[in-house]
Amino acid sequence: MTSKSEWQKLDLRIDPDSEERLFFSEHEWETIEAAAARIIPTDHDPGAREARVIVFIDRYLSGIDYIYAAADGSGFLQLAGAEANAARARNAVFQRMYRDGVVELDRLARQYGADDFARADEETQDSVLVELSGAPKPVHVRLDEHAVFYSRLQGNTDQGKPFFETLCLHVRQGFYSDPVYGGNKDRVGWKVIGFPGPESLKDTMDGSYTTAPYFAEKWDWSDLLLHYEPLQ
């Protein structure tokens, strides 16, 4: 097995403003974009639409050409052999999951009187996603309250998850991942959380970028936590 540094590079770039669909049909694109926009909605900050999460997901599902970006950010690595076969098998699962997922979103939307999910109002879309997820809509996280926040959607692997959890993870990835993958347009995802991201993927790979200057130092835990009681 060769290391990724020895893989061939494909001269591919992803334009986040592109409306070209490599996997989705027009209707599927509109539906998944609408769902993503309710998972990370636009409010006083940009959301999934502005970050072009739909482009990230479409390219990710289109095949195996957009899985691994080259270390210098100048293209994507070409998978071959066993790695390519395994990637194609995983991709086929996701493709079927998303196609079936769009059908299910439309079916549920029609139960609420809408023509389909993409054309439903936001309240109806939220109701559909609640029903699809089997869990209440999350409440806003408040930083002035001390409470344990847990998300059942935590994790960074998209293997073995049902459609809704897979979609949520892919939306988060498209919002926060390096822009080379097509999402996080203009680094809006990083700006929303105040993350001073690198100028390019290359900076993270060659060690020239570091977040060390942004770590809080010389603070006591009692100053950082709302309720702090040291162990006896």
The whole-model pTM stands at 0.87
d(CA 158, CA 138): 21
Mean pLDDT along residues 69-76: 90
pLDDT at residue 154 above 60?
no
**Cα distance between residue 80 and residue 7, in whole Å:** 8
What's the pLDDT band for 150 if we cut at 50, 70, 90? low
Question: In this predicted structure, what is the pLDDT of residue 1?
Answer: 53
pLDDT at 149 over 60: no
Inter-residue contact 112 to 120 (CB < 8 Å):
yes
Give strand pairing partners of 9.
77
pLDDT tens profile 166-206: 999 999 999 999 999 999 999 999 999 988 889 888 898 88
- On the question of pLDDT at 153 being above 60, the answer is no
What pLDDT, on the 0 to 100 scale, is given for residue 224?
62
Among 66-75, 139-148, 178-187, 202-211, whose mean pLDDT is lowest?
139-148
pLDDT above 70: residue 34: yes
Does pLDDT of 129 surpass 60? yes
Decide if pLDDT at 125 tops 90: yes
d(CA 208, CA 74): 17
The pLDDT score that the predictor gives to residue 155 is 60
- CB-based contact 203:72 (threshold 8 Å): no
Please tell me the least confidently modeled range out of 71-75, 120-124, 156-160, 193-197: 156-160
* pLDDT > 70 in the chain, percent: 86
Q: How far apart are CA 153 and CA 138, in angstroms?
A: 11
pLDDT of residue 119: 98
Angle between helices 163-176 and 81-111 (to 10 degrees): 110
Q: Average pLDDT of 128-151?
A: 78
Query: Which residue's structure tokens are 């940009």?
Result: 46
For the chain, the distance separating the N- and C-terminal CA atoms, rounded to the nearest angstrom, is 52
DSSP secondary structure letters along 99-160: HHHHHHHHHHHHHTT-SSTTTS-HHHHHHHHHHHHTSPPPPPP-TTS------TT--S--TT
Contact 118, 34 (CB under 8 A): yes
